[in-house]
């Protein structure tokens, strides 16, 4: 499909959208992305996009029901969208021009094609993975993932990197299972991690609790794809990797709070960039804030 006439959208270069967006982005991930995952949120009214062709797979989630006009085969057509409708725009495919005539919030999640193939089982050929364009599809799970990501970023900023990356992997798996032309490329894994790999992963987590750990990084230690690793890790431990890391951070924080260290220092030593997020998570697990816990010692 030729894309010379379409505007190329790159999720890693959000500033280039300024020429089309009357209002600036409210939230956007760092330009480098999170291992092939990008997130953006903005609110607009009465604006139009030309034909576009994204470098990444783009999932668009809307904040409420609305009407829009799409230019399909040279003709403008009106479409009504429900609150749980979403759009899926595969990489390097042309998306039609669209005109919005009301105030609306937009969540855009960009996923690099390499992330999609990484989520699929290791032997899949990148050329085999094809996501089917959906100008309008009813998908409550995608809606929920998008809104959860937005809330998490608004509440905790980028302090929940591992959680956000896990949600992005969940979305990638869902796209492959439901919207790929090859529905059988996702393997089901059983039996948990081999004991030596589980030990290696746990050791790496505990040795790097002060770092902004990523799912891809931990999976690489045991030479597995993130999806493969996350599935088997949960079978072995009973909880997802991001939940396990949080549990380890809280346990390490409990010990460090007994030492001659301030709450701020402890927060940094267990990998929290935000002290308020640290206090929130600690209280959720322990029942009291770090300050109260330390005073009670």
Architecture label for domain 195-295: Orthogonal Bundle (1.10)
Cβ-contact 61, 143 below 8 angstroms: yes
Predicted confidence at residue 128, as pLDDT, reads 67
Closest of 82, 87, 279 to residue 179, by C-alpha: 87
Query: Mean of the per-residue pLDDT values for the chain?
Result: 88
DSSP letter at 245 equals H
| DSSP H or E segment with residue 286 | helix 275-286
Tokens representing 73 are 């085969």
Residue 152 vs residues 61, 107, 170, 188, 275: alpha-carbon distances, Å: 16, 13, 16, 29, 15
Q: Is residue 217 predicted with pLDDT exceeding 60?
A: yes
56-76 in b/e form (b: 16+ CB < 10 A) is bbbbbbbbeebebbbbeeeee
Per-residue pLDDT reduced to its tens digit, 243-292 = 999 999 999 999 999 999 999 999 999 999 888 889 999 999 999 999 99
Residue extent(s) of CATH 1.10.10.60 domains in the chain: 195-295
| Average pLDDT of the residues in 138-152 | 93
Higher pLDDT, 2 or 61: 61
DSSP bridge pairs for 54: 9
Cβ-contact 3, 182 below 8 angstroms: no
Residues 186, 178: Cα–Cα separation, whole Å? 11
Residue extent(s) of CATH 2.60.120.810 domains in the chain: 7-179
At the topology level of CATH, where does 7-179 sit? Answer: Jelly Rolls (2.60.120)
| Average pLDDT of the residues in 100-121 | 85
Q: Phi-psi region for residue 69, left (φ > 0), alpha (ψ -120 to 50) or beta?
A: beta
Predicted confidence at residue 125, as pLDDT, reads 53
Per-residue pLDDT reduced to its tens digit, 7-27 = 899 988 877 777 788 899 998
Per-residue pLDDT reduced to its tens digit, 30-86 = 765 677 889 999 999 888 999 999 999 999 999 889 999 999 988 999 999 998 899
């Amino acid at each position: 499909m030729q894309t010379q006439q379409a505007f190329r959208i790159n999720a890693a270069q959000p500033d280039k959208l300024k020429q089309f967006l009357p209002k600036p982005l409210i939230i956007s991930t760092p330009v480098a992305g999170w291992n092939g995952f990008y997130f953006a949120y903005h609110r607009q009214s009465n604006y139009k996009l030309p034909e576009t062709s994204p470098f990444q797979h783009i999932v668009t989630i809307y904040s409420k029901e609305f009407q829009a006009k799409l230019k399909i085969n040279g003709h403008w057509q009106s479409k009504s969208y429900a609150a749980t409708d979403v759009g899926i725009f595969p990489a390097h495919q042309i998306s039609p021009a669209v005109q919005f005539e009301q105030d609306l919030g937009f969540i855009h999640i960009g996923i690099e094609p390499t992330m999609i193939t990484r989520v699929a089982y290791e032997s899949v050929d990148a050329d085999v993975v094809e996501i089917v364009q959906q100008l309008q599809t009813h998908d409550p799970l995608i809606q929920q993932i998008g809104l959860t990501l937005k809330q998490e970023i608004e509440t905790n900023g980028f302090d929940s990197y591992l959680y956000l990356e896990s949600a992005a992997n969940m979305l990638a798996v869902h796209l492959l299972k439901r919207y790929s032309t090859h529905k059988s490329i996702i393997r089901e894994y059983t039996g948990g991690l081999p004991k030596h790999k589980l030990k290696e992963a746990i050791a790496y987590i505990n040795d790097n609790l002060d770092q902004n750990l990523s799912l891809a990084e931990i999976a690489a230690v045991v030479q597995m794809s993130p999806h493969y690793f996350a599935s088997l890790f949960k079978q072995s431990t009973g909880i997802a990797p991001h939940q396990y890391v949080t549990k380890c951070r809280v346990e390490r924080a409990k010990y460090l709070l007994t030492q001659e260290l301030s709450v701020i220092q402890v927060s940094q030593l267990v990998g929290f960039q935000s002290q308020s997020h640290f206090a929130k998570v600690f209280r959720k697990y322990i029942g009291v804030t770090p300050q109260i816990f330390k005073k009670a010692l």
